[in-house]
Chains A and B, each alone.
Chain A
Amino acid sequence: MSETPKTDKPKKELTKAQMLSKKITEDYMSEAFRAHELGKLIGYTTAISPVEIFVAHDIVPIYPENHAVANLTAKKGIQLCSVTENLGYTSHLCAYARSDLGYRETGITVTKGIPEPDLFLACNAQCFTLTKWFQVLARKGNLPVFVFDTPEYIMNKKAREEIIKYCVLQLKELISFLEEITKKKFDYDRLKEVMKYSAESSILYKRFLDMAQYKPSPISIFDALIGMAIAVYRRGTPECVEYYKTLCDEFQEKADKGIGVLPKDKEKYRLYWENLPVWFKFSDHAKLLGSYGGVILTSLYVHAWSFEFDLNKDPLLTLAENYVSRFSNSTLEDRADMAMDLFKRYSMNGMIMFMNRSCKAVSFAVPTLKDVLVKRTGIPALVFESDMGDQRFYSETQIRTRIEAYFETLDRLQPQVS
């Protein structure tokens, strides 16, 4: 199965990194489908979750979100979501969840599907929606769900210390939960080894994202969205490290040669994107923006996997600190600071704020975040509402018109913002 989103680009020879990504994904899915034969269990988990503990305990992590992305990118959203809505679920729930529940009913998928779960790990640093979705799946087979509860990482030093303690306590509970299910003792030395890979690949992944600092930028958010896949589902493994080394080398070479997503003289607008992408408009958006001299460089979303694990600390402590402080679990003020850091480092001069009906956990902050960022950067924002996976909530004409109008505004302000 290909976990990475497909684009409409003409077929080109694959780069070394792309070939590696393909192989890693194929090996991973092949192992996942044979997990039981290999004496391993399948654990469904959220993209932001301390999966290092799974890896260290030989639980094969599967991310229903990634599978949903593949189907939604291939425009299967309406077909799959409609099936779920006929079961009584409302049309405004997360399109990942709705398409996944539709897949469970019909078996329809553009991939080979994903193996059935043995257990679930839901981490609400990403969202509580996934917990609810996993509970629906767990009820189908009466399977255990472990909720790793990460309270909002509020701006209070002492409270943060308490939050971390609570999270470490829960990670110990998670380990006991896994030991009980697998009847196997958890190996902390193995965890340390997994953490080394995870820490190294995270640094490399961040280096890859930071290629957006170059002018012209050799990387757009679309490269980042494709490039993040391995960080999501293979962190904690040596192959993940190898992949990001290769990827960084390739993009560094582009940067060194001055090869940008757009040529240097055409790169007018270096844009920030808030939220997940509109998966089924992935390549259309890149083309449309490119025609105006715009390139979206980054989002907080793609940075969610640039962890900074401290290998000198207890592994559970550094895991807790990193997972609880993801952008999606941070206060609005901290999210604004994180975005501001990217604005400065990547010299961005425009922002597209996507109100994603599917992702309430990210989107409900957007109107306020937009106000804060506009005030702090002095850059106007384009706000549009749609859905990351359900085409029924996407109005082509309206969004195209808004994008055009936004670039006209930026053109007018060009002397001020450049």
Chain B
Amino acid sequence: MWDNLSLKEVVEYTKDPFPSIRKWAKEKGKKVVGSTIADVPEEVIYAFGLLPVTLVGTDKPLKKAPSRLPDNACSLARSNLELVLSYEGDLFDGFVLPQVCDTTQHLSDIWRISFPDKYVECFLAPRQVDRPSARYWVKEEIERLIESMGKWTGKNITDNDLKRAISLYNENKRLLREIYDIKKKNPETITNKEFFSLVKLSMQVDKEEFNKSLKKIKESMAPKKGDGYLDIILAGITCDPPEVYDLFDEIKLNIVADTLVTGSRYLDGVVPEDGNPIDALADRHMNRKFFSPIHDNVYRNFEEIKALYKENNAKAVIYIHIEFCESQEYDLPDLKKMIRKEGIPMHVLDTEYQTLSLSHLRTRLQAFFESLKGGSL
């Protein structure tokens, strides 16, 4: 199903991956487990012989979610809830929902009550990361997840099952990283939309199959530098709808580094393959770079973005703000101030999951880069 996809097909599947997941699960007789972002250890779900699928919203109309979550709730949370309430709920046998903020905490309650007949477990991610207790807690939660999934599936997993899953997931991340490295230096080879579709689809389909596609895609890539590209850093949590990448491609922006959960933060999740796998997964949680604004302090976000900008000799930073994401909204004014004080050009794009027209974003983005090229910033 996903083992021989072309880049064009990857983009199509990413736009709506669910028909293929439905078909695949039926053919293979596999159960499907949905998770919202971020930080659920997918390797655990995979080790149980299940297909973990990360949910990143839908562009289909909101029908049922507004009666559960009001219009000032995070756009991604509402969109994910809609995805399962109206469109794809039947596809999933269960859900593992991370709690990373107030909204996701409520979301997992609403979800559990909405699906009384399905397996709904939460993953209680720590909301502090600087003290020893955070690492202790992550490990506890991973162990609890394993125990809970064991009860649900009636299976026990061994360290080796987990190590096999880790190895497969690591391979996926390494392949994506290699393609990213080619893209950075050779923007004409693969568009931003194509590359970030590879990452997103990786979070949603069977890795064993998709890694084969990734290998073929990588091998078939003929690096082309192209002309007139401007290197930029993309910061934020997610970047949707996917047409936002079309805007970047249209005006020849080359994303050379990012801090997205659906980008580098995922790729940085390679887990050491020696030693105790649960410890390794807990260490991964703590060692990941780019702790999203949900957990992090603005200073660290700023230092990360500044370092990426300098290391990559980028020309600007684009920050993706998800409408009504409270965590981002408390951080943004100071983050903007720090970045601008450093003399780094920064543009904030306000995105919303159900947006159909991007003309206002296009206009603002064009104006920003015209002024940047004209040196008038």
Contact = CB atoms under 8 A, between A and B. Distances in A.
Interface string B158-184: 000000000000000000000000000
B336 A368 contact: no
B329 to A, nearest CB: 5
B268 to A, nearest CB: 23
Nearest to B329: A90
Given A87-B333, A92-B72, A92-B324, A139 B127 contact: no
B144 A159 contact: yes
B79 to A, nearest CB: 15
A139 B70 contact: no
B136 A357 contact: no
A135 B301 CA distance: 13
B102 A364 contact: yes
B262 interface: no
A147 B330 contact: no
Nearest to B74: A360
Contacts of B70: 355, 357, 363-364, 367, 385
A168 to B, nearest CB: 9
Nearest to B296: A135
Interface stretch (B10-18, B104-112, B215-223, B230-238): B104-112
A27 interface: no
B133 A88 contact: no
Given A151-B126, A152-B105, A363-B70, 19 more contacts: A128-B127, A129-B326, A135-B330, A135-B331, A149-B134, A149-B137, A152-B108, A152-B109, A159-B144, A162-B144, A163-B124, A169-B136, A170-B128, A333-B109, A357-B72, A364-B110, A365-B110, A367-B68, A367-B70
A336 to B, nearest CB: 10
Interface in A100-153: 124, 127-129, 131-133, 135-136, 139, 147, 149, 151-152
Interface of B is mostly: helix
8 contacts: A88-B333, A128-B326, A151-B137, A162-B144, A333-B113, A361-B102, A365-B110, A368-B109
Nearest to B293: A132
Contacts of B108: 152
A136 B326 CA distance: 13
B297 interface: yes
Contact of A360 (B103, B131, B137, B331): B103
A171 to B, nearest CB: 10
A368 B113 contact: yes
B113 A151 contact: no
B332 interface: yes
A182 interface: no
A88 B330 CA distance: 9
Contact of B124 (A128, A129, A139, A151): A151
B133 A169 contact: yes
Contacts of B324: 92
B278 to A, nearest CB: 15
B122 interface: yes
A152 B140 CA distance: 14
B226 to A, nearest CB: 36
A127 B330 CA distance: 14
A188 interface: no
Interface string B174-218: 000000000000000000000000000000000000000000000
A226 B298 CA distance: 37
Interface residues of A, number: 45
B101 interface: yes
Contacts of A372: 113
B363 interface: no
A20 to B, nearest CB: 36
A245 to B, nearest CB: 36
Contacts of A92: 72, 324, 329
A360 B72 contact: yes
A332 B331 CA distance: 29
Interface residues of B, number: 44
A92 B70 CA distance: 12
A166 B331 contact: no
Nearest to A134: B330
A93 B73 contact: no
Contacts of A158: 144
B327 A365 contact: no
A173 interface: yes
Contacts of A133: 330
B133 A147 contact: no
Most-contacted residue by chain B among A88, A154, A165, A364 (CB, 10 A): A364
Interface of A: 87-90, 92-93, 97, 124, 127-129, 131-133, 135-136, 139, 147, 149, 151-152, 154, 158-159, 162-163, 165-166, 169-170, 173, 331-333, 355, 357, 360-361, 363-365, 367-368, 372, 385
A128 B327 contact: yes
B69 interface: yes
Most-contacted residue by chain A among B72, B107, B297 (CB, 10 A): B72
Nearest to A94: B326
A360 B326 contact: yes
Contacts of B298: 135, 139
A132 B330 CA distance: 6
A147 B297 contact: no
Contacts of B105: 152, 361
Nearest to A173: B131
B67 interface: yes
Nearest to A167: B133
Contact of B330 (A93, A152, A365): A93
B131 A128 contact: no
A149 B110 contact: no
B136 A136 contact: no
Name the 3 nearest CB pairs between A and B, nearest first. Answer: A132-B330, A88-B333, A151-B124
B136 A166 contact: yes
A149 B133 CA distance: 10
A152 B134 CA distance: 15
Nearest to B348: A88
A169 B131 CA distance: 10
A88 B127 contact: no
Interface in B48-86: 67-70, 72-73
A129 B336 CA distance: 20
A364 B69 contact: yes
Interface in B91-140: 99, 101-103, 105-110, 112-113, 122, 124, 126-128, 131-134, 136-137, 140
A6 B297 CA distance: 37
B292 to A, nearest CB: 13
A151 B72 contact: no
B122 A149 contact: no
B332 A368 contact: no
B339 to A, nearest CB: 13
Contact of B101 (A128, A333, A367): A128
A173 B135 CA distance: 13
A149 B326 contact: no
Contact of A368 (B102, B110, B326): B110
A333 B108 CA distance: 12
B334 interface: yes
Given A92-B324, A135-B297, A139-B298, A128 B144 contact: no
Given A128-B102, A151-B99, A360-B72, A166 B140 contact: yes
